[in-house]
Structure 1
Amino acid sequence: MKNINFGIDLGTTNSGFAKYENGKVVIYKNPVGFRDTVPSVVSFRKGRIQIGEKAREHLVSNSESVFASFKRKMGSDESYFIKDTENNITPIELSSMVLKELINFAQGENPKSTVITIPASFDTIQTNATKKAGYLAGFEEVVLLQEPIAACLAYSNAQNLEILNPEKWLVYDFGGGTFDVAVVYIDERELKVIDHKGNNFLGGVDLDNLFVEKVICPKIEESAGVENLWQKMIAGDNADYKKLYFELLFKAEEAKKELSLKDHTSIEVDSDNLDIVVDIDILRAEFEASIAPKFEESFQLTENLLKENNLHFTDIEKIILVGGTTYIPYIRQELASRSGISVDTSIDPTTAVIVGAAFYAGSKQSELVEKSEAVVDHSAQKEMGVQLVFEPNSKDTEELIAVIISDPFEGFYRITREDGGFDTGLMKAGQKFTEFVPLLTKATNQFTVSLYDTQQNLVYSNNAVRITNGLYNVQGQPLPNDICLELDEERGKTYMERIFKKNEILPLKKTVYKLSSKNILKNSDEKLIINVVEGNSGSMVGSNQTIGYIEISGENFPHDLLKGMDIELNFKISESRDLSVSVYIGSLDLEINEVFNPHQRTVIVEKLISEIKDAIDDINSEIDFEAPEENYEYLAKLKRVQEHLIVLYDEAIACRNDNSTDKKYQLEEMKRILIQEYDDMVRHKHVLQELIEYNDTKAYFTEYLEKASPKQREEFDKITKNEKEVLQSNNKYLIRKKNQELESLLDAIYYNQSESIVNTYYFYMTKDEGEYKDVAKFRQLCSLGEKALEKTSYVELRAIYTQMYHLLKVKPARRDDFNTFDGNLGLK
């Protein structure tokens, strides 16, 4: 098998294509202008499809049939209407066209496999949409790589670095459409992402929109006497204003580039149809003031990332810049002055991800089998258990290959390097042997290990031994978010139990065992629901994204599913984030298997408004519950989040008529971030309450544990065995569940004690006679109870108060009544 070798940066504003070959990366040049990248723009004009620079040139004159920034809509249900063809087209289809254009750059080559980069903060739906675009473009194999990892690979492999001591880098990736920030660990041998944060709707496009709205539009309004120009343009219901919007965006992008080099620039606007002819001057300071809020958003994400990982800027060795937006001097200066860290500008931020993708592709083995690959005749090759042990990455000039054969073996081995520069010749081999092989520097060395019997007949061959010298590589990618299972909780709500933890290295698999939380009769319309979500395991279910949903109806059951029956669930998630879920119910002999790769979600403005309002109301309730004099700092934080949500609510109301910009997606992203922030604050408080309750319950055991039976003491040890892990989980639901287990055990011990039996008897005996259905029977029980007390017969006394309970007209709820619940999902 060969390595993939081809890498693509599918960017919001520009995309690029490169190949790894003989230890080096070659970027395929765009034939138009011989540049390293191509604009991610597609136009449809007079039956002709154009991609790249030519398409971008038509953005102003033919905006209705020219499409850009569609990467930001990947994973959404958005589609674009093509006036020229009167058809709709999706972001996935547009992205596939850009990918096909990139393939054309590699003239004479026909790559079947590729690595495509994605923002680290892309969720599973956006990830799957990107893969689908790759397959639509004609690739048979698509492997995804997170952009911060690609940038680090480019930086570490392009520089002659000598890392004597481990370092931490900060990758600040401000691209055309997305923002990502990541903390990366690197030493002399290893490079890995520790953690990341991002916003999929924060990029250069948003800076351009702010620039137009806050600077350019007011100047035009003042000069031309126009009112509400921005609102008229983004409404999209007037062709002339819509055309002006795209013209101003185009001019804003050009002015942004000029202001990165000069202190001032000018823009000419000429629209005869709208009677607007102006020439406006713009200062760099005005531009910087307009984009400052977006930089603040990026810097706050950066600070939060460090805080969540108990790091400070002083722990960071350097900041690596990625993305075209980082060319803006204001961003570089603010980043350097606020962090106090060296900002490294030694690599090109616009091509770093392309180069890194190719480096990764050069180390990634393709799963496709080429027809031209030589295959050993299986009739002559014995079934052999052969284990090859070697380091895939090495800084040394030679590396050890160890071969272990499961069965006794006598014969010969031969190891050759693909370029012909090394050949051991035939060497005697036993069941185990080793060989030091020389490595070409700064290159991936491919070796073939062959085994021969005593007659020198080939019995085994493996050409998949690849050792990269002097280059950093990444063994697996981190999972961007927790993957969780929604479960019924005993207070009538649901919670999330983590299956896979954020930053665990993909691929992953796990088996969990759960119980049915309700009876589901066969042939009924009751359902067992398996809901797999992506997000934060300790947060509310609603603030996260569903990525796998299975409904199993009673109509499909061969028998009744009774409460408390075992349910086995197996989860697998691939490196490219395909999710496989299998459900097995042994009592029904029922198995269901599903593979989820959702690639579309919907953002509805009215639903968005409703969710923001609900969050504001929840915060109001929390504020009303708190005593101001006791926790003013906590209240201040709550009010700050609430104020941001109120602003967001007003913007969402105004967004109802916005048919041009990405505003609703930005608001959706900000809503998610703010609700998560609120959720974090409330969760911390609720976790403390659950911890207090747990510790109080456990304290009671000092009185009752000595009265427990040996089996009950064993149960107590079992419950408290892993309590440290649960109590430190910061998950109120897990702590509550642990507390409920302790309470149930404590009840079992307490209600077996004589004092408890006596107290319960007096509770029922002292009730008013009118509360009982049969007064004569009640009096008889009271008489029997007194005799049982005289004899200290507690078994009789328990039987007597049980009969009293059943005589009551209205029965009081017992603890068992609260613990016995029917879940909505059917899974606990």
Structure 2
Amino acid sequence: MENTINFGIDLGTTNSAIAKFIKGEVIIFSNPQDYGRNTLPSVVSYKKDKIIVGNKAKEFLEKDPKSVVGVFKRKMGTAESFKIKSINESKTPIELSAQVLKELKTFVNTGDNLDAVVITIPASFDTIQSNATKEAGIQAGFKQVVLLQEPIAASLAYANMKKEREMNDGQWLVYDLGGGTFDVALIQIKHGEMKVLDHEGDNFLGGADFDQMIVEKFVIPKISEEYNFINLEDEMKSASGKLNAKYYVLLRRAEEAKIILSSKTSAEIVVDGFEDEDGNEVDMEITITRSEFNELIKSNIDGTIEMIKQILTRNSLKPSDLQFNLMVGGSTYIPYVRSRVEEVLQIPVNCEIDPTTAVAVGAAYYAATKPKEIGKGTGVKPTTAISIKTSYNKASKEKDELFSARVTGKTEGLSYRITRQDGGFDSGLKKLTERISEDLPLVDGAFNFFSFVVYDSQNNIVETDIEPIGINSGFGISGQPIPEDICLEVDDYDNPGKTRLKPIFFKNSILPLRSQAISFPLNKGLIEGNDDDFIYINVLEGSHLALPEANKVIGFMKIRGTQIKRDIAKGSDIEITISISESRDIIISVYLNMADQEFKQTFNPKERHTPVEFLKEQVEELSEKLDLEIEEASEKEDFETASALSKLKKEMESVSEETESLTSDDVTDKRYQLEDKKRKIAQEIDSATKNKRIQQVKAHYFETKDECEKMLDENGNDHERKTFNDIVAQESAFFSTNSPLKIQEKSDELYSIISRIRWRTPEFLVGIFKWCRDNQTRMNDQAQAKSLVDAGVFAIESRNWERLAEINSGLLNLLPRGAEKEATTRIGFGL
């Protein structure tokens, strides 16, 4: 009867787990190869004739480290692969993750066919990392993979564990510190529904880092004090180092010591099995105390606290506004993590759920609300006389859940009946109509199954296509937020030759998302049939306040002259629509007005895809930008900025040289490495010049403000004066954001007031008309243009300024997009 996914997997950096939702409860499957353990170490070992996953693989890590891989989740979404010595092959993070997922399937002892699953990801995973995780699920044999952010999963586990009377409306934090990643999310419950309001994270912080710190900052220095080694750390950490295998032995022993320190004040780390440079056998027992360990990780934990403070500041919250801080992830077993976070923030920590399995449990609860879609749209769907489309919440804390349905087919003489599986509800026979609405009573804390049966006049069952109805009387989630802004790269008309970011969706917008059609004028024309003519539509992920070069490219569309049906003029409109699915597939639709053509493309990249020609173009532009910024800073005697930028010059030159040497069909990972370097340089340029951009937009704001005030005194009305005063009253607030975009927005609002006043001013209207008349040959309808010009001459002679304003608007509409700004600038009214 069940038609929901029900299975949830926590695909962790160091450990993974699988759980299933069964009739209102979640069971966590045990590891059949490690009795009593509910998790699987995310480690994969390769032999010539077999693949081993889990604890046994960890043991081989010490014997044959070049044939064993762990902590590969951190490399998801990159082009990096891991060379496996024993099989002389390379394996990608996706392939390694797929092996972990396959092994988790063996945990399931219920006889289920695992064809659909919910897999969790860190909330800070970007689009490409998310798609890589989904691809790992497909490679593991799942036909349907739904992604869920880990803090949401943890919240679902907690909320569904509690009784309804214990879960009041309010807000809390989820502090998720696992083996390799960190997330913190602000969660809100309102009217029985959970929502993620904000989050921060670090995909390179977790328990594995603490193990490395114990070895590198504590154990190796202790060994070096007692024995003679040259570059001991390099010999251990380098893949070609003679002591590389011993490094993994020490990591495992450091992890064991870390676990002991959660319950005891000290732990021993045995170091043996190798010789120093003088041939002396190394044999030590190094004692590490809890306070020494705490000091090692203090800066990392304080870094997580700073992220929490950022969330509180952004959301104007005090610690007292939050109910608790829910601790999730194996590394929150560390007493110092709990005590330090609570001490600094003064928010009570909540340790009521098992931090190692909570995410898998929450994923299973979520899976119970997601319908299986396997097979939909394939094969021939059986036809029935009656078709029923239903609508209801799959998870609800209400006592009664509204169920509605739309019926198509001949309903005359038919009736329906809805019953709950436990016999506790029976709607009785009711007349079947095109629209049905029922309040279905729910058993609290259970999974409620209902059957919907259609009968004819003799009470014979009529076959329909209705899916089984299942409602979990537990907490649901209103949706998943995106971790970063999604932007388009567009031309910056205030700075010819440069581009800027146009935000389409802002960070924390709830998936799925669909934008309105956004129109832009083309900055270049396209000639039909010319393969050398093309335009890029570039979609990026990252702060919309940054330089385009500083953000991550997640997809782009290239439209060539060979794809269009007619020539496209420069300045003609292009309309772009973007949608993002819950599992982060991005669909972009581009409509070229002049050609009446639409182009569509779906982006679900599993690794960053960077065409060499596109990368070369970006690197060249960034290099020119850097040179101009250095020159400008030097001319203004801003030696601090000039010095910071000059330090980047050598690095930029190296990137330029390496990029130029790439061939267009380069098959190595070099392009991805160079794209990363380019992005980091752009971020540093952005950071070094931010003050300059803020000063520029502030100067522009005050210039616009003065012009607006002058025009208000001459021709403004009361409504315009009030709008002006409201903007000025907010100055301290938007200046304090230090956001160039926010300040520019206020300048634009003032400019709107100026524009409205100008369009009532005879001098301005006559000037616009004369400019339009001089540019009449650029207009796309010459007959209409001539008619409007004749009417404009008459309007000026009769001093009918209202009519002249209408005529000017008509003339500007016949010109390429952006002509109004061009007109006002050319005739001396632009700012």
Q: TM-score of the superposition, structure 2-length normalised?
A: 0.77
Structure 1 residues 47-126: aligned runs within 5 Å: 47-107=49-109, 108-126=111-129
Report which stretch shifted further, 134-143 or 265-274: 265-274
Distance in structure 2 (CA, Å) of the matches to 1:311 and 1:555: 55
Among the aligned pairs, what percent are the same residue?
38
Question: What is residue 358 of structure 1 aligned with on the other side?
Answer: 364
1:467 correspondence with 2:471: yes
Distance in structure 1 (CA, Å) of the matches to 2:343 and 2:13: 28
Deviations 1:358-377 (A, max 9, x none): 1110111121249999x996
Distance in structure 2 (CA, Å) of the matches to 1:410 and 1:322: 56
Distance in structure 2 (CA, Å) of the matches to 1:359 and 1:600: 30
- What is the one-letter code of the residue matched to 2:574? I
Distance in structure 2 (CA, Å) of the matches to 1:665 and 1:324: 34
Specify which of 682, 686, 705 is matched with residue 695 of structure 1: 705
Distance in structure 1 (CA, Å) of the matches to 2:234 and 2:57: 26
Name the CA shift for 1:175/1:445 in 2 (closer, same or farther; >3 Å). same
Question: What is residue 752 of structure 1 aligned with on the other side?
Answer: 763
Distance in structure 2 (CA, Å) of the matches to 1:225 and 1:80: 33
TM-superposed CA distance for 1:419, in Å, is 5.2
Distance in structure 2 (CA, Å) of the matches to 1:45 and 1:55: 10
Distance in structure 2 (CA, Å) of the matches to 1:193 and 1:497: 24
Structure 1 residues 184-195: aligned runs within 5 Å: 184-195=187-198
Deviations 1:233-266 (A, max 9, x none): 333332x232222222222212211222222222
TM-superposed CA distance for 1:331, in Å, is 1.2
Structure 1 residues 242-261: aligned runs within 5 Å: 242-261=244-263
TM-superposed CA distance for 1:732, in Å, is 5.6
Specify which of 339, 344, 352 is matched with residue 333 of structure 1: 339
TM-superposed CA distance for 1:488, in Å, is 0.1
SS at match of 1:252: helix
Question: What is residue 545 of structure 1 aligned with on the other side?
Answer: 552
TM-superposed CA distance for 1:327, in Å, is 1.2
Distance in structure 2 (CA, Å) of the matches to 1:621 and 1:453: 83
Question: What is residue 312 of structure 2 aligned with on the other side?
Answer: 306
Report which stretch shifted further, 562-571 or 23-32: 562-571
- What is the one-letter code of the residue matched to 1:323? G
Name the CA shift for 1:680/1:410 in 2 (closer, same or farther; >3 Å). farther
Name the CA shift for 1:174/1:277 in 2 (closer, same or farther; >3 Å). same
Cα pair 1:6 1:20 within 8 Å, conserved: yes
TM-superposed CA distance for 1:404, in Å, is 6.1
Cα pair 2:8 2:361 within 8 Å, conserved: yes
- What is the one-letter code of the residue matched to 1:270? D
Q: TM-score of the superposition, structure 1-length normalised?
A: 0.77
- What is the one-letter code of the residue matched to 1:583? V
Name the CA shift for 1:674/1:453 in 2 (closer, same or farther; >3 Å). farther
Question: What is residue 26 of structure 2 aligned with on the other side?
Answer: 25
Distance in structure 1 (CA, Å) of the matches to 2:571 and 2:48: 65
TM-superposed CA distance for 1:312, in Å, is 2.2
Specify which of 507, 515, 526 is matched with residue 512 of structure 2: 507
- What is the one-letter code of the residue matched to 2:604? N
Name the CA shift for 1:723/1:416 in 2 (closer, same or farther; >3 Å). farther
Question: What is residue 284 of structure 1 aligned with on the other side?
Answer: 290
Cα pair 2:62 2:249 within 8 Å, conserved: yes
- What is the one-letter code of the residue matched to 2:322? I
Deviations 1:88-147 (A, max 9, x none): 110100000000000111133221100000000000010000000000000000000000
Distance in structure 2 (CA, Å) of the matches to 1:261 and 1:671: 45
Report which stretch shifted further, 540-549 or 696-705: 696-705
SS at match of 2:368: helix
RMSD across aligned positions (CA):
4.7
TM-superposed CA distance for 1:300, in Å, is 1.4
Structure 1 residues 354-503: aligned runs within 5 Å: 354-369=360-375, 378-379=383-384, 381-382=385-386, 388=390, 390-402=392-404, 411-418=414-421, 422-429=425-432, 434-454=437-457, 456=459, 458=462, 460=464, 462-469=466-473, 471-490=474-493, 491-492=495-496, 493-503=498-508
Distance in structure 2 (CA, Å) of the matches to 1:236 and 1:396: 57
Report which stretch shifted further, 696-705 or 714-723: 714-723
Deviations 1:6-45 (A, max 9, x none): 0000000000001000100011110122211000000012
Question: What is residue 773 of structure 2 aligned with on the other side?
Answer: none
Distance in structure 2 (CA, Å) of the matches to 1:116 and 1:368: 16
Report which stretch shifted further, 161-170 or 36-45: 161-170
TM-superposed CA distance for 1:55, in Å, is 0.2
Report which stretch shifted further, 720-729 or 196-205: 720-729
Question: What is residue 805 of structure 2 aligned with on the other side?
Answer: none
Cα pair 1:29 1:36 within 8 Å, conserved: yes
TM-superposed CA distance for 1:422, in Å, is 4.3
- What is the one-letter code of the residue matched to 1:307? T
Distance in structure 1 (CA, Å) of the matches to 2:392 and 2:181: 39
Cα pair 1:446 1:466 within 8 Å, conserved: yes
SS at match of 2:212: helix
TM-superposed CA distance for 1:746, in Å, is 8.0
Cα pair 2:370 2:394 within 8 Å, conserved: no
Distance in structure 1 (CA, Å) of the matches to 2:679 and 2:589: 31
Cα pair 1:483 1:533 within 8 Å, conserved: yes
- What is the one-letter code of the residue matched to 1:68? G
SS at match of 1:169: strand
Distance in structure 1 (CA, Å) of the matches to 2:402 and 2:752: 53
Distance in structure 2 (CA, Å) of the matches to 1:735 and 1:579: 31
Segments of structure 1 that go 5 or more residues without pairing to the other structure are: 629-634, 654-658, 708-712, 758-814, 821-828
1:554 correspondence with 2:556: no
Cα pair 1:450 1:461 within 8 Å, conserved: no
Distance in structure 1 (CA, Å) of the matches to 2:757 and 2:261: 71
1:174 correspondence with 2:180: no
Distance in structure 2 (CA, Å) of the matches to 1:673 and 1:326: 32
1:568 correspondence with 2:575: yes
Cα pair 1:174 1:325 within 8 Å, conserved: yes
SS at match of 2:229: coil
Distance in structure 2 (CA, Å) of the matches to 1:735 and 1:816: 21
SS at match of 1:363: coil
- What is the one-letter code of the residue matched to 2:711? F
Report which stretch shifted further, 410-419 or 731-740: 731-740
Cα pair 2:622 2:682 within 8 Å, conserved: no
Segments of structure 2 that go 5 or more residues without pairing to the other structure are: 613-617, 656-668, 769-820, 827-831
Cα pair 1:451 1:461 within 8 Å, conserved: no
Distance in structure 2 (CA, Å) of the matches to 1:620 and 1:60: 54
Cα pair 2:153 2:361 within 8 Å, conserved: yes
SS at match of 1:517: coil
Runs of 4+ in 1 over 6 A off after TM superposition: 370-373, 610-628, 663-683, 713-729, 736-751, 753-757, 817-820
Cα pair 1:534 1:546 within 8 Å, conserved: yes
TM-superposed CA distance for 1:699, in Å, is 2.7
Matched residues, number? 731
Cα pair 1:547 1:598 within 8 Å, conserved: yes
Structure 1 residues 576-591: aligned runs within 5 Å: 576-591=583-598
Report which stretch shifted further, 47-56 or 133-142: 47-56
Structure 1 residues 603-618: aligned runs within 5 Å: none
Cα pair 1:40 1:51 within 8 Å, conserved: yes
Report which stretch shifted further, 431-440 or 588-597: 431-440
- What is the one-letter code of the residue matched to 2:702? I
Distance in structure 2 (CA, Å) of the matches to 1:529 and 1:723: 39
Cα pair 1:495 1:733 within 8 Å, conserved: no
SS at match of 2:233: helix
Name the CA shift for 1:164/1:271 in 2 (closer, same or farther; >3 Å). closer
Question: What is residue 10 of structure 1 aligned with on the other side?
Answer: 11
Cα pair 1:704 1:750 within 8 Å, conserved: no
Cα pair 1:451 1:460 within 8 Å, conserved: yes
Cα pair 2:758 2:765 within 8 Å, conserved: no
- What is the one-letter code of the residue matched to 1:692? F
